Structure 1
Amino acid sequence: MTDAIGAPRSGRTPTINDSASKAIRSDVHADNPVVNKARPARPALPGRLLVEYFSDLGPVSRRLDVVPLGTLVGVAGTVTALSQTGTDEAPRALFTVTGMTGESAQCTVDTEHYLDLWDFLVEGVQIRVSGRVRRPMANEPGYIEILAIQAAPAAAGTAKVVGA
């Protein structure tokens, strides 16, 4: 006894692991552009990185864009973009921390803290940062004004903390 495509029938219902059903699925979808079309990656949006902070109810993890202004937050990720701004007398840095999901957060280091923290500001380095949420305008994504940077666990024991 054979089925519709000529494969021998064993008297049981074929499962998804049967070689005949695999052949059917692959043949049916081989030239289907809808099934085989690669989904475009969702663009990473700045200000949506998951951050941790303490609320009145204890520790909370939320996206940066919904955390209240002025909240002290912490986040870990990789430095993916770095821009040194300001002058030689008043250096500043803007950088992006990107998490494992591709979401990111913009961070700033002001002149007062720049010299204390500059050695952690290297693209591709994994860091943990702490700072205050700032938002220039209500409808724009927030950013983190950095107060402390810590290297990833591989470089344990290296941390710089500056006064708030």
Structure 2
Amino acid sequence: MTTPVYVVGCISLIVQLCYSDKVKKRGVFIISCGVPGSVGYLICVGSSNPGAGYAGMFVLVLGLYPISTLAVIWITNNLSPDSKRAVGMPFAYSIANLSNLVSSQLYPSQQGPRYVQGNAVSAGLTVVAGFLYDACWVLLRRRNMKKAKLIAEGATNNGLEGDQSLDSMYVL
């Protein structure tokens, strides 16, 4: 029964990665993936019908699978030089893996099969993550606008290196 859910998640991941790469944007895809992720969790919380919970899982993976992969790609695209990327990537993975510590507390076996507490908290955290990704997108957009303004004014160097230099525009 779980295989179709994983297949849908995989297809969603591939489609979103390909399109994200084609349009050279990451943040918009990550932020929009939070919607089906949250809705999928809320379907599971809101209905005691097993069929609805199963349908909720399909909705959930449409957004949840692509978020983590797109986030890793976004971090990789926007961190430079290599030394900054070498610290930033493991840090991001470490933060992401904190969910492994929390999940056993959010999804205790005695609350199964619906896991209302775990799914409700996960829905809320997915919404919070969407807002945080949105804030990051706004910050990077502002930085790009400042760089573009300096370049338009004739600046060739802003005295900064790596991703903050004028040579490097952030992938939004």
- With normalisation by structure 1, the TM-score equals 0.20
Task: Return the structure number with greater relative CO, CA threshold 8 A, min gap 6.
Answer: 2
Higher helix fraction (1 or 2): 2
